[in-house]
A and B are shown apart, each in its own frame.
Chain A
Amino acid sequence: MRNGCFVAWKCVPSPMAIDPGIVQTAASLGPSKDSRVNVSSTIDATAPKFLRDKYAIVGVGETTYSRSSGRTTRALATWALRNAIADAGLTPKDVDGMLSYSSFSDSTFCIQVSGDLGTRLNFYMDVHGGGTSTETLVGIAIGVIEAGLCKTVAIYRSMNGYSQTRIGGTGPRASLPVAGDLLHTAAFGMQSPGQMFGLTFMRHMHDYGTTPEQVAMVKVIHSEHASNNPKAFYKHRVSVDDVLNSKMICKPLHLLDCCVETDNATAIIVTSAERAKDCKQPLVLIRGVAGRVNKPRLDMHYQHGPITLAAGAYAKDIIWPNAGVGPEDIDITASYDAFTFTTLLQLEAYGFCKIGEGGQYVSDGTMRLGGRRPNNTSGGHLCEGYTHGVSMVVENVRQLRHDVDDSCPVGPDGRRQHTYDYREGGCRQVRDVEVSANLGWAGAQTASAMVMRCG
């Protein structure tokens, strides 16, 4: 942490800020961690701030990223969950809560998966939805544990996103009958994620002079990161010209502006910070969550403008007060990269740069390994594989443990000895990282976010 804010939080008692609308006692607050936060004090954030640092992500796991899993989503889910549970140093008997999410009926629900793991659940829920689900489900997990429904929650997303249900919308579901609200969009050939988001992206270029070259840098940088990620589906580095010369999919999106479709499952384990102390890995604490925060007019969000503004502009007023930090405190970001543009729009919306200056931010080297605030150090959805968001939490947890799974040699203590040499095939651990932000996207209209820190 370059500005030492967490050191200050841990060591320097300061006057306690009382949140409007939230009843708190001095005992419940402990030493205040809010004194340096410059955010709106009028927000009654969704999670009471005394839940800060009370919950942790103790286990992360995934399958391989492929385009031919040769397995059901049920098998993929149990594979990823076993890895995550083992990573935490737990057994399936320790997991008594489960959450999953899916779209287009493309996954297997908790009912089957929990049985295959040998768990007995005190709580489960299968949620419909996409790219904002990860952080949202972490928030739900915290809520149900806090309410006493269960103690430890496993969250998974399992998908054969290439070999079965193509997440880009090709295949059998491309030609389903057009009905309901889709009569106002799909009837005109606007139905895939890229097609639906393209209007926002194009208008951003018009309003702010954002250039294709600037936007292409998102892919370039994420490909650099993926080249240091042995498990990434695309490990080769690409140039701006490679992006701009790749075939046009739906203008303004070239093929390389779009994420990779893959088969995979990913999983994370959430439990209380108290229980986390008994787990295997270095502690990674959850500072705050914002879940599925929306712009007005979800029935067709284009009715409300500016259409270039992502819902992160609303979510930021929840996540930053909730977490007690601002963008300037964040060491690494994971900004959902279903497309190059989505990374840009979110970083703007959350205040990492001014609105309209995202093109500059994503292309000036800030997001690079070795830069001021690396983004998607795994290569993200553009390169590592498409997981609907979970993999970006997995990556940041490993970063915060200072144990990211690159090619650096493993020392006698079983942990990697990172070189911080970010050349191709090398290290991707960020030096001295202490606090991360995950920014989830389900379209410009809906946003989720989570801040985590080293324990």
Chain B
Amino acid sequence: MSIELPYLGMTLSISDLDIENKAYFAHAARRDFRLQRCSGCNRFRFPPTTGCPWCANPESTWQAVEGKGTVHSYVEVHQAIQPAFKPYVPYLYLLVDLDTQKGEPTEHEALRVIGNLTTPDGRLAPPELSRKVGIGSRVRIVFADVGEGLSLPQWTLDDQQPSTPPWRYPDP
């Protein structure tokens, strides 16, 4: 059955035909972060697809991945385009290098997963929390529940942080 659910005020929709996304978000709804793992070359991939980007094998299985990583880049949105986000500006989304499979198959690759910076319970982070995060910050996955069969993996600050502060845009 197709999924159509409100989140923050926008509509998230997963077609019944979109088998891969349906599986990804259904796992998330069970607090279970899983990615497709290629049955041929054994590599994980993200986002969900119908074939392996590394070896083109169509067969894969959903395997658990530790949801920890390092912020590779981020954007701080002050003017929301999506109306649902207007009450939350400025909000952050992060591009996170997962620890799993980082640097494979070449040094330039990582499983890079986008999500908002959130509180540990999955709500969009308030400004005072956002100010602590930048490139290099350590984050872990939390889940924002949307409804039956759909939770969004989100990012919150990990307890363990590097000794050097993260890199942030040079505000005046």
Contact = CB atoms under 8 A, between A and B. Distances in A.
A174 B9 CA distance: 12
Contacts of B49: 299
B61 interface: no
A187 B7 contact: yes
Given A188-B116, A299-B47, A168 B81 contact: yes
A251 B169 contact: yes
Nearest to B116: A188
A103 to B, nearest CB: 15
Given A178-B11, A199-B73, A299-B53, A250 B79 contact: yes
Contacts of A212: 169-170
Contact of A304 (B21, B85, B108): B108
A259 to B, nearest CB: 15
Contacts of A203: 72-73, 135
A303 B79 contact: no
Interface string B127-171: 000000001000000000000000010100000000000010110
Contact of B76 (A184, A251, A296): A251
Given A174-B82, A206-B167, A189 B73 contact: no
Interface in B65-93: 72-85, 88, 90-91, 93
A416 to B, nearest CB: 41
B72 A189 contact: no
Contact of A300 (B47, B78, B82, B85): B47
B114 A179 contact: no
Contacts of B112: 300, 302-303, 307
A198 interface: yes
A414 interface: no
A185 B21 contact: no
B100 interface: no
Interface size class of A (residues with CB under 8 A): 35 or more
Interface string B39-72: 0000001110100010000000000000000001
A305 interface: yes
Contacts of B91: 189
A327 interface: no
A248 B76 CA distance: 9
B116 to A, nearest CB: 5
A68 interface: no
A180 B167 CA distance: 32
B135 A184 contact: no
Nearest to B136: A206
A188 B10 CA distance: 11
Given A205-B169, A248-B78, A179 B13 contact: yes
A183 B21 contact: yes
Interface of B: 4, 7, 10-15, 18, 21, 25, 45-47, 49, 53, 72-85, 88, 90-91, 93, 95, 108-116, 135, 152, 154, 167, 169-170, 172
Given A188-B154, A189-B88, A297-B53, 20 more contacts: A174-B81, A177-B13, A178-B11, A179-B15, A183-B14, A185-B114, A187-B12, A188-B93, A188-B115, A188-B152, A202-B169, A205-B169, A205-B170, A206-B167, A249-B79, A250-B76, A251-B77, A299-B47, A300-B112, A302-B95
Closest 6 CB pairs of A and B: A198-B75, A305-B108, A251-B76, A203-B73, A179-B13, A199-B73
